[in-house]
Amino acid sequence: MEFSTKNIAPGLAKTGCVIVGVFESRKLCASAAALDRTAKGFVSKAVASGDMDGRAGTTLLLRHVPNTACERVLLVGLGEEKSFNEKAYRKALAAAFGAVNATGAADAEMHLTSLAAGASTISWRVAQAAALAIESAYRFEHMKSKPDANARAIKRLTLAYARAGDRQGAERGLEHGLALGHGVSLAKDLGNLPGNVCTPGYLADQARELAKRYRSTGMKVKVLEREDMEKLGMRTLLSVAAGSAEPPKFIVLEYLNGPKKQKPVVLVGKGITFDTGGISLKPGGGMDEMKFDMSGAGSVLGTFKAVGEMRLPVNVVGLIAATENMPGGRATKPGDIIKSMSGQTVEILNTDAEGRLVLCDALTYAERYEPAAVIDIATLTGACVIALGHVVCGLFANDDKLAQEVLAAGETAHDRAWHMPLHDEYQDQLKSNFADFANIGGRPAGAVTAACYLSRFAKKFKWAHLDVAGTAWKSGREKGSTGRPVPLLTQFLISRADRS
């Protein structure tokens, strides 16, 4: 899709569809009113007829609007004017893009961007509009022999602003929104690809591709092979790879585009490209969804794409622990004891609790960067889905300020997280009679004990853990990756860049 921003009044330019808003109680927004004047009252008549009452999420398509150069006008319900905030704005955008993509229009001119929404800036509104336009046009058709003929979407989008002075803000917003949209799309693609295509080697190739594409920003990649990991002593990571014929990869992405002396933020992604559970085999039903178990890794790659495209002035390192979790003759068995890279020994009581086994060695590897903060992202526990469902990501942290910073980024990006407990008392559940501790803590508070396990490898830095098991993908008819939490992570880095 092609994008542009423009200071333009509605209805004057040739376009497939002009998009304007209507508040509840049938009040036209400023651009709808301007369009109505041009069209000699055609729009207000349509609204008065009762076909559009302005309720949030509703739309009405008008054709043959007199005195205008556009083929169509799409009216979008905005809800109540006095409660029209950022959330309502996003809801209106989603409805608008859904409706315009269902028409035959090839291009559109969006005027909702010039609405005042809560405390938002023009830059934020344009960024959200660009990112949501990309989201709503997203299709995953790489594996279909021919594209879906019914899946239409506009090809060009103009994002309008009402004041000439908004130009700079709108342009910056467009850059950020496009970069974010592209980052989210990459994360979705990687999640949606099947396990036989998106292997650890494929993730490594994607990282190499990013480093090549954004080389001018200083993005670099290094891929550690099995032998390299053996030399480093990443034995818990390798214990997960033991049952698989697919070679594991440890991917190191470096993007050092911020102030020279600034310590980097390290993002650590769980990259299990398929999780069978290993010898503690999962039940068969719905097991296909375990191709999404690399979503943490996908979100790291998506975030690198976004910050690279924005040329964001920050220092970030991405670490991806990529392997399959398979049963096999050489697979790790329940009861096996492995010495992690940190030197701590782990009794593996369940081979299906493999995410923490690959992440713990990655966290130890992160120490070498003396990071300002480490955030790991993982589809870690079914228990997190039980606790929080599919709305918010579970957030755990060993530092309250960092936790608040992550929560705030989620709020701004509308990609929310919820702070979960990490009290010492929970650590007792990991007790082992044979090793330093076990890799599972029983049924109670499963998401918390998983985070407790990770915390034992995060003592040397400020650390936050995002359990995205409930938010990284959708099941059922809409089955597919959501690209979360790329918006949260990207916003976290934007906010850090703004502060320094």
- Using CB under 5 A as the binding rule, whether residue 324 contacts Zn ion is answered as no
Task: Determine the angle formed by the axes of helices 295-310 and 167-192, rounding to 10 degrees.
Answer: 150
For the CA atoms of 496, 358, 235, 341, the dihedral, rounded to the nearest 10 degrees, stands at 30
Indicate the residue among 153 and 290 with the shorter CB distance to Zn ion: 290
Stretch that binds Mn ion, among 29-37, 53-61, 259-267, 345-353 (CB under 5 A): 345-353
Beta carbon of residue 351, minimum distance to ligand BES (angstroms, whole number): 8
- Using CB under 5 A as the binding rule, whether residue 275 contacts Zn ion is answered as yes
Q: Which of 77, 79, 296, 355 binds Zn ion (CB under 5 A)?
A: 355
Q: Which of 92, 203, 341, 383 binds ligand BES (CB under 6 A)?
A: 383
- Using CB under 6 A as the binding rule, whether residue 13 contacts ligand BES is answered as no
Q: Which of 245, 312, 310, 302 is nearest to 273 (CA)?
A: 245
Active-site residue, from 270, 356, 462, 484: 356
CA atoms within 13 A on the CB side of 485: 40
Q: Which of 71, 189, 254, 293 binds Zn ion (CB under 5 A)?
A: 293
Q: Is 161 helix (H, G, I), strand (E, B) or coil?
A: strand
Respond yes or no: is residue 125 known to be catalytic.
no
From the list Zn ion, Mn ion, ligand BES, none, pick the one residue 52 interacts with, judged by a Cβ distance below 5 to 8 Å according to partner type: none
Burial (CB count within 10 angstroms: exposed 0-12, middle 13-18, buried 19+), residue 477: exposed
Q: Which of 308, 329, 313 is nearest to 220 (CA)?
A: 308
Q: What is the CA radius of gyration of the chain?
A: 24
Beta carbon of residue 272, minimum distance to Zn ion (angstroms, whole number): 5
Beta carbon of residue 158, minimum distance to Mn ion (angstroms, whole number): 46
Per CB under 5 A, which of residues 115..154 are in contact with Zn ion? none
C-alpha dihedral sign at 225, 226, 228, 234: positive
Name residue 167's amino acid.
Answer: R
CB distance 372 to 462 below 8 Å = yes
**Cis peptide leading into residue 485 (ω within 30°):** yes
From the list Mn ion, ligand BES, Zn ion, none, pick the one residue 469 interacts with, judged by a Cβ distance below 5 to 8 Å according to partner type: ligand BES
Beta carbon of residue 205, minimum distance to Mn ion (angstroms, whole number): 24
Q: Residue with the closest Cβ to Mn ion? A: 352
Lookup result for tokens 């440890």: 250
- Using CB under 6 A as the binding rule, whether residue 446 contacts ligand BES is answered as yes
Indicate the residue among 166 and 354 with the shorter CB distance to Mn ion: 354
- Using CB under 6 A as the binding rule, whether residue 57 contacts ligand BES is answered as no
- Using CB under 5 A as the binding rule, whether residue 195 contacts Zn ion is answered as no
Q: Is 461 helix (H, G, I), strand (E, B) or coil?
A: coil
Q: How far apart are CA 52 and CA 44, in angstroms?
A: 10
Beta carbon of residue 481, minimum distance to ligand BES (angstroms, whole number): 13
Q: How far apart are CA 263 and CA 37, in angstroms?
A: 56
| Phi, psi angle pair for 488, to nearest 5° | -65, -50
Per CB under 6 A, which of residues 313..372 are in contact with ligand BES? 350, 352-355
- Using CB under 5 A as the binding rule, whether residue 352 contacts Mn ion is answered as yes
Indicate the residue among 190 and 353 with the shorter CB distance to ligand BES: 353
CA 362 to chain centre: 21
Beta carbon of residue 384, minimum distance to Zn ion (angstroms, whole number): 12
Binding footprint of Zn ion, residue count (CB under 5 A) = 4
Indicate the residue among 15 and 199 with the shorter CB distance to Mn ion: 199
Active-site residue, from 152, 282, 339, 460: 282
CB distance 292 to 140 below 8 Å = no
Q: How far apart are CA 320 and CA 495, in angstroms?
A: 23
CA atoms within 13 A on the CB side of 251: 36
- Using CB under 5 A as the binding rule, whether residue 275 contacts Mn ion is answered as yes
Beta carbon of residue 155, minimum distance to ligand BES (angstroms, whole number): 36
- Using CB under 5 A as the binding rule, whether residue 166 contacts Mn ion is answered as no
Task: Determine the angle formed by the axes of helices 167-192 and 200-213, rounding to 10 degrees.
Answer: 160
Respond yes or no: is residue 6 known to be catalytic.
no
CB distance 490 to 413 below 8 Å = yes
Beta carbon of residue 367, minimum distance to ligand BES (angstroms, whole number): 24
Stretch that binds Mn ion, among 132-140, 187-195, 349-357, 485-493 (CB under 5 A): 349-357
What does DSSP assign to residue 258? S
Active site residues: 282, 356
Contact set with Zn ion (CB under 5 A) = 272, 275, 293, 355
Contact set with Mn ion (CB under 5 A) = 275, 352, 354
Contact set with ligand BES (CB under 6 A) = 275, 293, 350, 352-355, 379-383, 385, 440, 446, 469
